[in-house]
Amino acid sequence: MRVLILGGDGYLGWPTAMHFSRMGHDVHLVDNELRRRAHRENGTDSMTPIAGSLGARVLAWKEVSGNDIGLTMGDLCDPTVVEAVIRAFRPEVIIHYGEMPSAPYSMASRAHAVFTQYNNVVGTLNVLFAMRDLAPDSHMVKLGTMGEYGTPNIDIEEGFIEIEHRGRSDTLPYPKQPGSFYHASKVHDSVNIQLACRIWELRATDLNQGVVYGIHTEDTRRDDRLLTRFDYDEIFGTTLNRFCLQAVIGHPLTVYGSGGQTRGYLNILDTIQCVELAATNPPGPGEYRVFNQFTEQFTVLELAELVARAGKEVGLQVTIDHVDNPRIEAESHYYRAANTHLLDLGLRPRYLSETLIESVFDVIRRYRDRVITEHILPRTRWRPAERQPAPS
Amino acid sequence: MRVLILGGDGYLGWPTAMHFSRMGHDVHLVDNELRRRAHRENGTDSMTPIAGSLGARVLAWKEVSGNDIGLTMGDLCDPTVVEAVIRAFRPEVIIHYGEMPSAPYSMASRAHAVFTQYNNVVGTLNVLFAMRDLAPDSHMVKLGTMGEYGTPNIDIEEGFIEIEHRGRSDTLPYPKQPGSFYHASKVHDSVNIQLACRIWELRATDLNQGVVYGIHTEDTRRDDRLLTRFDYDEIFGTTLNRFCLQAVIGHPLTVYGSGGQTRGYLNILDTIQCVELAATNPPGPGEYRVFNQFTEQFTVLELAELVARAGKEVGLQVTIDHVDNPRIEAESHYYRAANTHLLDLGLRPRYLSETLIESVFDVIRRYRDRVITEHILPRTRWRPAERQPAPS
């Protein structure tokens, strides 16, 4: 298959690119290194010393694997970039990771919120119109987020829910309650993609993904130049990866609030497996389908305790700190989300284990001197402490 | 009250401004004359000869009523405009009509879709952040649309629905199925406004309005310079107003498809009444509430037949044409939407009647020589007839 990967320089995009290339597909990447620039602006960096550019990664991959990966450096918000690459590459699958992915980033200021929504919504609209005009049979595999659903007091279904109401019934889009302007941008995308599939008969799979953890895939292990990024800072770091890093460097595990927040999680290896299952089992024309992409549910405190136990096994002194929650979110809530669609397609989950955590510890130990500790604690607050009062 | 009206130059914005001014409120308008520019670009115009600028309208209003209305010419997408006006005027109510309001406009091309969503989403985000920082106790009265809901096979409730599912229940945002990128932009706004209310304790009322008809209000009758606009073209015209105009000029009434599309409708006088009821009965801090703002439901064919009957009464020869539907929408569907919240606040509806239609005929007769007939038939198609094939 001709597989176009948007956001091919990211934590998930790069390992996905290598996987599809190794499996014999024709792979082309688009990226504008937005994440690298955001890190430079913040004074932060990936813990893993990733290759200096996406171009360098592609060259290293060629050397290690013998396979070519195509590359377009450009911004999805520029329609001429999107149209040129789709016209020339004629993708059969478009795996769309190419968005600004951080909730705290989107909450930092008006400009950050506007940029996140502009970047994500306009980039996706540009891809949809280019599909309509240049690749109407291609299949968009879009990375959404479980955060679109929020924490409703009923079971979360996969994108749609049958509602019985006053004696009638219909299957309707599952109600969305995003918790940040970033999560809202993914909700906006879902609405736009669903509309495009309905009116233009496009094909799309929206993968509402949980929180991903892990460092290595089969391909990242082959050469240091093939490492994927590993973020732990308050803006781009995610729960379990950050806890593992904190355990290794002797930093208290920072649980936000009581830690009762329940979310879905999955191994980075399962992300790749899920994306591959979606890509190789496309929907029909006009079909917009949603898969909830996670393998297990945990509370934040459960994860902290799991990391602490694993740390103790290997001789680390691990403490848990409950820090003021910078977010506005329920810390104690019902949470039960369906995730059978990908299992039905053949997903074989790698469940979280102390062994896995210990293997992550090992990689972190190797790079612990690169950690910038002052960017670990959360500073971006959903509700700014000081409101500027109206002048009187 | 200090009432800030965003989009004060529009079909509804201008009559709303005069109404609040006449009722003794302190009124300030923001507009960038986007609609006037879009008409100039299309080669179309309002049927009514509105004053040459919003500034001229404000001067005429001062002369006729003795009342001052403040005015800022500027773009809501420019945060410095939004912040400056909110800082200086300190609004208690912000009535937000300031968006690109056309479904066909948004479907005309990629650039039109992107502009519509950018303009509406970013403008509203800018207002929300300015409220947070400069007017946290003010109340946003936002014009949404009944088109956010689409045409589900169950009753449409007002913004939220209680769902029972697998033995549990929750009241959740009503599922949205917008039918154009314009309608989708209003869905995006609703998501963002609801989030802002929850995390920052802002107050907002989302008025999911039906299709508005009518020309005159108490104030527009007082002086020709106070007329509001009346659009009938394929881009900005709406069903009933367009049918009335077609009846007067001897053009067949253009029913899209079978005409079984059912929607909610209301008189322009009731729009003003509803906005006033929302403004004078504000929600509490943190409350995001939704009112469905229409008074009656009709199918498109019912409206055409009503206009034809009214035309016959006054000696017009009226025919009905079923033209190819340019939209992708159900032409035969269940539709029953709740609209009790505004009635509970005291709304006294003016229902549609042949008498009302005949009074609209009278105004149209006066301006019939201004009608540009070549822009009446729909040309903007939801699904372009020719898809550009991928190069082989």
- Could you read off the pLDDT of A22-35 as tens digits, one per residue? 999 999 999 999 99
Mean pLDDT on B117-141: 98
B-chain residues near A120 (CB < 8 A): none
Residues A143/A99, Cβ–Cβ less than 8 Å: yes
Query: With a CB-CB cutoff of 8 Å, which residues 82-101 of chain B face chain A?
Result: 87, 90
CA distance A114 to chain B (A): 6
Pairing of strands B139-145, B203-209: parallel
* Radius of gyration, CA atoms only, chain B: 21
> Taking CB atoms and an 8 Å limit, are B191 and A176 in contact across chains?
yes
State the pTM of this model.
Answer: 0.97
Q: Using the predicted structure, report yes or no on whether residue B219 has a pLDDT greater than 60.
A: yes
Q: Which residue of A has its CA nearest to B381?
A: A199
B280 is catalytic: no
* A82 pLDDT above the threshold of 70: yes
pLDDT at A384 over 90: no
| Other C-beta atoms lying within 10 Å of the C-beta of residue A51 | 19
Share of chain B above pLDDT 70, in %: 98
Residue A392 has pLDDT above 70, yes or no: no
Confirm or reject contact between A385 and chain B (CB < 8 A): no
Q: Which of A132, A187, A390 sits opposite B387 (nearest CB)?
A: A132
Distance in Å, alpha carbon of A334 to nearest chain B alpha carbon: 10
Question: Which pLDDT belongs to residue B330?
Answer: 97
| Option in A111, A154, A195 nearest B169 (CB) | A154
Chain A closest-CA separation from residue B307 CA (Å): 31
- A3-12 mean pLDDT: 98
Contact A175 B172 (CB under 8 A): yes
Check B124, B186, B220, B380 and give the catalytic one: B186
Q: Are strands B296-299 and B262-267 parallel, antiparallel or unpaired?
A: antiparallel
d(CA A355, CA A370): 24
- Label residue B384 by pLDDT band (50, 70, 90): confident
Q: Do A153 and B169 touch (CB under 8 A)?
A: yes
In the predicted structure, residue A232 carries a pLDDT above the cut 70? yes
Is residue A155 over pLDDT 60? yes
CA A358 vs CA A199, A226, A231, A245, A308: distances in Å: 49, 21, 18, 11, 11
Mean pLDDT of B56-72: 98
- Give the number of other CB atoms < 10 A from CB of residue B141: 26
Considering only the beta carbons, identify the residue of B121, B126, B383 that sits closest to A199.
Answer: B383
| Any A CB within 8 A of B168 CB | yes
Tokens of A357: 């955590």
Cα A173–chain centre separation: 22
CA proximity to A271, closest of A317, A211, A321, A320? A211
pLDDT at A387: 53
Chain B residues closer than 8 Å to A125 by CB: 110, 113-114, 117, 181
Task: At A158, list the tokens.
Answer: 């996969």
Active-site pick, B145, B151, B254, B295: B145
How close is the nearest chain A Cα to the Cα of B363, in Å?
Answer: 38
Q: What share of chain B is helix, strand, coil (3-state, %, to 5)?
A: 40, 20, 40
* Token pair listed for A107: 């909450």
B161/A contact by beta carbon, under 8 A: yes
| Nearest chain A residue to B384, by CA | A200
Dist. CA B33–CA B39, nearest whole Å? 10
Confidence of residue B156 (pLDDT cuts 50, 70, 90): very high
| H or E segment to which residue B247 belongs | helix B239-249
The two tokens of residue B335 are 């539709």
B/e letters for A59-92, b = 16+ CB within 10 Å, e = fewer, are ebbeeebebebbbbeebbbebebbbebbeebbbb
| B275 has pLDDT over 70 | yes
- Quick check: A168 and B334 CB within 8 A? yes
Kindly report the average pLDDT of chain B as a whole number: 97
| Confidence bin at B387 (pLDDT 50/70/90) | low
The reported pLDDT for the residue numbered B388 is 46
Question: A286-311, pLDDT tens digit by residue?
Answer: 999 999 999 999 999 999 999 999 99
Q: Which of A329, A219, A319, A231 is nearest to A269 (CA)?
A: A219
Q: What pLDDT score does B33 carry?
A: 97
Search chain B and give the residue with CA nearest A153. B170
Count of CB pairs separated by less than 8 Å, A with B: 165
Per-residue confidence (pLDDT) for residue A351, from 0 to 100? 98
- Chain A interface mutation, best of B87, B109, B110, B117, highest count of A Cβ atoms under 10 Å: B110
How many alpha carbons fall within 13 Å on the CB side of residue B192?
32
- Give the tokens for residue A157: 């279904």
ipTM above 0.90, yes or no: yes
pLDDT above 90 as % of chain A: 98
- pLDDT for B391 equals 47
Report pLDDT digits (tens) over B263-273: 999 999 999 99
Taking CA–CA distances from B132, the nearest residue in chain A reads: A387
Torsion sign, CA atoms A365, A369, A373, A375: negative
Closest approach of A312 to chain B, Cα-based (Å): 38
Residue of B nearest to A186 (CA): B188
At residue B291, the pLDDT reads 98
Q: For A197-213, what is each residue's pLDDT tens digit?
A: 999 999 999 999 999 99
B60 close to B223: Cβ distance less than 8 angstroms: yes
Is the Cα torsion angle A355, A360, A364, A366 positive or negative in sign? positive
Q: What is the reported pLDDT for A391?
A: 46
Q: Give the integer Cα–Cα distance in Å for B264 and B335.
A: 9
Residue matched to tokens 């002797």: A250
Q: Is B286 helix (H, G, I), strand (E, B) or coil?
A: coil
Does B110 reach chain A within 8 Å, measured CB to CB? yes
Interface check for A133 against chain B (CB to CB < 8 A): the answer is: yes
Q: Which 3-state string (H, E, C) describes chain A? A: CEEEEECCCCCCHHHHHHHHHHCCCEEEEEECCHHHHHHHHHCCCCCCCCCCCHHHHHHHHHHHHCCCEEEEECCCCCHHHHHHHHHHHCCCEEEECCCCCCHHHHHCCHHHHHHHHHHHHHHHHHHHHHHHHHCCCCEEEEEEEHHHCCCCCCCECCCEEEEEECCEEEEEECCCCCCCHHHHHHHHHHHHHHHHHHHHCCEEEEEEECEEECCCCCCHHHCHHHCCCCCCCCCCCCHHHHHHHHHHHCCCEEEECCCCCEEEEEEHHHHHHHHHHHHHCCCCCCCEEEEEECCEEEEHHHHHHHHHHHHHHCCCCCCEEEECCCCCCCCCCCCCECCHHHHHCCCCCCCCCHHHHHHHHHHHHHHHHHCCHHHCCCCCCCCCCCCCCCCC
Q: What value does the mean pLDDT take over residues A305-330?
A: 97
CB spacing of B135 vs A192 below 8 angstroms: no
| Nearest Cα residue in chain A from B88 | A391
Residue A390's pLDDT band (cuts 50, 70, 90): very low
Phi, psi for residue B313 in degrees, rounded to 5: -55, -35
Residue A379 has pLDDT above 50, yes or no: yes
A240-289 per-position pLDDT tens digit: 999 999 999 999 999 999 999 999 999 999 999 999 999 999 999 999 99
Mean pLDDT of chain A: 97
SS3 B1: coil
| Residue A388 touches partner B, C-beta closer than 8 Å | yes
Mean pLDDT, residues A379-387 = 82
